[in-house]
Amino acid sequence: MKVRVVCDGPVSLPGVRVDALPFSPRTQVVDLQPCDVGLVPVTDLPWNRWKSFFKILQCMAVGLPVVAQNMGSNAEVIEDGVNGYVVDSQEEWYDRLALLVDDAGLRRRMGAAARATAVRTYAESVQMPRVASVLHRAASRGGSRPSGRPA
């Protein structure tokens, strides 16, 4: 077994075969598609607790179940045990990954649920009407600008 890592910079995981690919907006989808599970380990730093981890959505969009650190918006996106797992400890990381590695059917079911979540909640066809509505409401508030600010 090997771990595919898509990122900027070198990666070394002692005792693990690593397939390291440089991040590229042009190849990011193709780079994720052959994977079985999306992993989003995040260091517990104050800033990370407020971040939205777009990588989770990218993995889910290509049909991967995701295992991610339980912080920030992760638990809002991942339905634990349905489309992935949120974990708090090293033991939970090991246990959840072992479940997914050992059970191809579970990976497929959770991956399908992950894809459904991404499409149902985050697809352009869902989000763009929301964005358009916000912009329309902002524009309909009279179009006046605070004095002293350029147009």
- Tens of pLDDT along the chain (151 residues) come to 789 988 888 888 888 899 889 989 899 999 999 999 999 887 777 877 777 678 899 999 999 999 999 988 888 899 999 999 999 999 999 999 999 999 999 999 999 999 999 999 988 888 898 899 999 998 888 655 555 555 5
- Spatial separation of the C-alpha atoms in residues 22 and 4, rounded to whole Å: 11
Delineate the domains of the chain, giving CATH numbers in brackets.
35-139 (3.40.50.2000)
The pLDDT score that the predictor gives to residue 102 is 96
DSSP of 61-128: HTT--EEEES-TTHHHH--BTTTEEEE-SHHHHHHHHHHHHH-HHHHHHHHHHHHHHIIIIISHHHHH
Buried b (16+ CB within 10 A) or exposed e, 98-109: ebbeeeeeebee
Question: What local confidence, expressed as pLDDT, does residue 40 receive?
Answer: 87
